[in-house]
Amino acid sequence: MSTIAVAVSGGVDSLYALWHLRQQGHSVCALHGLFLPNQPAPECDPVPQLRLNCQKLGIDLHVLDLRHEFERLVISPFIAAYAAGHTPNPCALCNARIKFGLLLDAALGLGAEQLATGHYARLEQEAGRTRLAAAADSHKDQSYFLSLVPQERLAHALFPLARVHKDDARLAIAQAGLTVPLPKESQDVCFVPQEYRPFVEAGAAARGISLGGAGAALLPDGTYIGEHKGLWRYTEGQRKGMGFAWKEPLFVQHKEREGNVLRLVPRAALGMLGCRTQKANYFVPPALLPHKVLARLRYRQALMPATLSLLPQGGFALSLLPPQFPSAVGQIAALYDEQGRLLAGGIIEEITMCS
């Protein structure tokens, strides 16, 4: 019988994946990665309770120290992206580089043939290719965050929560008599303690990276609104927390690094016409992609119709009509078909806003 490795974080979802596969009679081992640079306080360390759960289920637990690699492959690019004026999506990078990168390599090295995780997503097989698709629980679907994982890596993936709803997973774990090590559900970036700005400032200083200073915040006609505190602190579409007083609410339209200018507009003038991505990750051959697709440009954003054009460097461009609420450079553009299956995913490198 082939072995399935299960990546366990300490949350209810990965614990459900572990329990469910064991209940089905699979040969299972558990993998827990140490990612964060500082060890958690004893009361927040999931490893002791994970060991107890694994002992109860008769499963071996392997703890892997990936802190150096996580710093290099996720945290440092996160800091660098902000310094470049972008709004990064570190979870998508973590899934591609760490969970289905180094952690999958470790699982295969232990003799496992598949790596299961607690992600809410589906996998389908079509003409010998592994297709990623949205989960049954649309409120928890995480296919967007997995859209950068290469197809050959997803061929080793297993998502036991593909058709499970969150409440059902919680109930199953409680009935099994297992204790969730980290019962509080994480809503933010796991390695940022609370507010991201102090973390970015400290990280940039430690790496000798300049974040840039204050500059002018202007309306499209050049009207001076005030002084921004550094372009890295703002993201396209932002309204709250900017500190500018005006006769109507203002939103970030654009960040001009050349000139260090923050452009602001009223909501009626805010709209995104399209975007371009870096070299993309394709789930079907690019030549077979339809001209009209459904796109998600931020997590939890509703799918929107878009027209697709392929770019010479391997990325793609999207045109949005009518204009949509903006995404940001550094976010992910994920393309879906009508059945909720992923077509492609890429990091946005340029956006086009309404004039």
- Annotated catalytic residues are 94, 190
From residue 100, alpha-carbon distances to 33, 156, 183 in Å are 12, 9, 24
Q: For residues 85 and 87, give the distance between their C-alpha atoms in angstroms, rounded to a whole number.
A: 7
Angle at 281 between CA 141 and CA 65, to 5 degrees: 70
Nearest to 285 by CA among 263, 303, 262, 310: 310
* 3-state SS class at 233: helix
Cβ burial, residue 117 (10 Å; 0-12/13-18/19+): buried
DSSP string, 277-312: ESS-EESS-GGG--SEEEEE-STTPPPEEEEEEE-T
**E strand residue ranges, 147-271:** 157-158, 215-218, 224-228, 250-256, 261-266
Q: How many Å separate Cα 148 from the centre of its chain?
A: 9
Instruction: Report how far apart the first and last C-alpha atoms of the chain are (Å, whole number).
Output: 61
Strand arrangement of the beta sheet that strand 250-256 belongs to: 224-228, 215-218, 261-266, 250-256
Q: For residues 329 and 351, give the distance between their C-alpha atoms in angstroms, rounded to a whole number.
A: 7
**222 Rama class: left (phi>0) / alpha (psi -120 to 50) / beta:** left
Report the 10 Å Cβ neighbour count for 109.
9
